[in-house]
Amino acid sequence: MKRKFLLPLCIAAGLAACAQSTIQPMSLDTFKVSTVAAPACGPNGARNVAFKTAAIEVIRRGGDKFMLTGDASQSDFWSGSHNQSMVVKVVPEGSREAKNALSARQQLGSNWQEVLAEGSPTTCE
């Protein structure tokens, strides 16, 4: 519930580097990440938050390999916010697609366990 109010609160308070993401299941192996980021994040900041959130969700689902099968972005002229959505397919190890898939752990870096424990980013770094 707190996340619903995070972005408006950050914008109102002048803390312009806030972001929030949601996950929507689409099938057993596919989900959508939707991220809304404050104006100071810019479109690249929103994309980075969405991508990191996708990698975190892949690991939470018990996988490591993934592919982006869809990507869309939009900036809101009036609020200045940036929206990013990604459709993510979890790829099973050993499958034909695995050799071309990204590793969630590698994308999150050597401290991936700490990043996983922190959860979806709420700032654009």
Q: What is the CA radius of gyration of the chain?
A: 15
Outline where the chain has alpha helix (H).
2-13, 42-60, 104-108, 112-118
Predicted confidence band of residue 124 (pLDDT cuts 50, 70, 90) = confident
Q: Which of 6-10, 30-34, 40-44, 53-57 has the lowest mean pLDDT?
A: 6-10
The pLDDT value given to residue 2: 44
pLDDT of residue 17: 66
Residue-range domain boundaries for the chain: 2-118
pLDDT at 58: 98
Q: Cα(49)–Cα(36) distance, rounded to whole angstroms?
A: 9
pLDDT in tens, 59-81: 999 999 999 999 999 999 999 99
- The tens digit of pLDDT for each residue in 82-117 reads 999 999 999 999 999 999 999 999 999 999 999 999
Its pTM stands at 0.86
Q: Which two tokens stand for residue 83?
A: 């929206």
Q: What is residue 104's three-state secondary structure?
A: helix
pLDDT at 98: 97
Over the stretch 45-63, which tens digit does the pLDDT of each residue have? 999 999 999 999 999 999 9
